[in-house]
Amino acid sequence: MIARRDLFRTSAGVLAAGALVPALDACSKSSPKASSPGSSGSGGGKAIKLGFSQVGSESGWRTANTTSVKDAAAKAGITLNFSDAQQKQENQIAAIRNFIAQKVDVISFSPVVTSGWDAVLNEAKSAKIPVILTDRQVDGDPSLYVCLVGSDFEAEGERAAHLMEKVLTGMTGPINMAQLEGTSGSAPATQRAAGFKKVMAASDPSWKIVISQDGNFTRDGGKQVMAAFLQSHPEINALFAHNDDMAIGAIQSIVAAGKKPGTDIKIVSIDGVHDGFVAMSQGQINAIAECNPLLGPQLMDTVKAVLAGQTVEKWIKTKESDFTADQAAAALPQRQY
């Protein structure tokens, strides 16, 4: 039996956090489908079948996450049935039903929005297939999934606000901030906004968010929404974007409006993908709160542990860092996504 501590320490040095739950609590106690630890992979035995429903391909973060999941499954000898939901909840529900019909051993998905999952998760429960959430949370019955492997988005919002405090240090006059929100109803959009607001409320009272809107985590969304913001609110001098891709889209509209991104409009975003780091090294993004998409190895470790009947943490968090523009050029060559 592998010790739990070792199990959740990945090569990236990521540590588990949160409450311990029996891995089979939600689903597979009565009929564990898995074989003993080590039955998958290069040795003998049948490979574990994992059904994975991805949100889509809206951002650089998502692309890196998809690659990480696919690579880690291959490395772990897990047979992956991968399905792309194109940012639509109905596609994810259909994919999960499909996985149930195919009798996969485990289902994992990154829920596009937080609500509306209990019915399909109950179907998985009836089929005794354990469900592991990855990346994003749901707000329904927590007994319907074993655990979540993913980031603390509220903490990311708080970290982004602290970075904004740093970036705005020394600026005089009112701060008229714009916010580009991620997909409405998604965990990262709701929680990043909440974390940011919480810190902001305790910061300089001259800060205000003058406008905030959904840019759907895409470059094009960020570009379109920022163009509209600049029309209606030419006084904007700071931007909080819920991801790098929207910040990069916004930069195009800021330039088109004859302003200098990173100077006339200070920009803080979240993720830390390659293109975000490039924009930061050019001074167009002032700071980034990292959100690590490389969840594949942790997810595969968790899949094996759950099927082996081991106890896992209810929320397996990821370790992340903060970066400001002055650190970007030096950090860029080491970035893994």
Residue 193's SS3 state is: helix
Whole-number Å distance between alpha carbons of 226 and 221: 8
Stretch that binds ligand GYE, among 25-33, 59-67, 91-99, 113-121 (CB under 6 A): 59-67
Q: Is residue 64 within 8 Å of residue 57, measured between CB atoms? A: no
Is 157 a binding residue for ligand GYE by CB under 6 A? The answer is no
| 145 lines the binding site for ligand GYE (CB under 6 A) | no
CA distance 189 to 191: 6
Find the binding residues for ligand GYE in span 274-303 (CB under 6 A).
Answer: 291
For ligand GYE, give the closer residue by CB, 136 or 304: 136
- The percent of the chain in helix, strand and coil, each rounded to the nearest 5, is 40, 20, 40
Number of residues that bind ligand GYE (CB under 6 A): 13
Find all residues with CB under 8 Å of 54, minimum gap 6, and list them.
Answer: 62, 65, 66, 69, 82, 83, 84, 85, 109, 110
Q: 């992956």: which residue's tokens?
A: 80
Question: How many CB atoms are located within 10 Å of the residue 216 CB?
Answer: 25
With respect to ligand GYE, which residue has the nearer C-beta, 313 or 320? 320
Tokens (6 digits) for 295:
């969840």
By CB under 6 A, residue 181 contacts ligand GYE: no
137 within 8 A of 190, measured Cβ to Cβ: no
| 154 touches ligand GYE by CB under 6 A | no
317 binding ligand GYE? (CB under 6 A): no
Exactly one of 49, 136, 219, 317 binds ligand GYE (CB under 6 A); that residue is 136
Q: Does 219 bind ligand GYE (CB under 6 A)?
A: no
Nearer to ligand GYE, 135 or 301 (CB): 135
Report if residue 66 touches ligand GYE, rule: CB under 6 A. no
CB of 192 to ligand GYE, least distance (A): 8
User: For ligand GYE, which residue of 59, 176, 269, 298 counts as binding (CB under 6 A)?
Assistant: 59
CA gyration radius, the chain: 21
Q: How far is the CB of 243 from ligand GYE (least distance, A)?
A: 3
Stretches 25-33, 56-64, 229-237, 275-283: which one binds ligand GYE (CB under 6 A)?
56-64
Per CB under 6 A, 188 contacts ligand GYE: yes
Q: Are 147 and 312 in contact (CB under 8 A)?
A: yes
Residue closer to ligand GYE by CB (options 51, 56) is 56
| DSSP, res 272 | -
Both tokens of 32, joined, read 């564990």
The residues binding ligand GYE (CB under 6 A) are 58-59, 61-62, 135-136, 188, 217, 243, 245, 270-271, 291
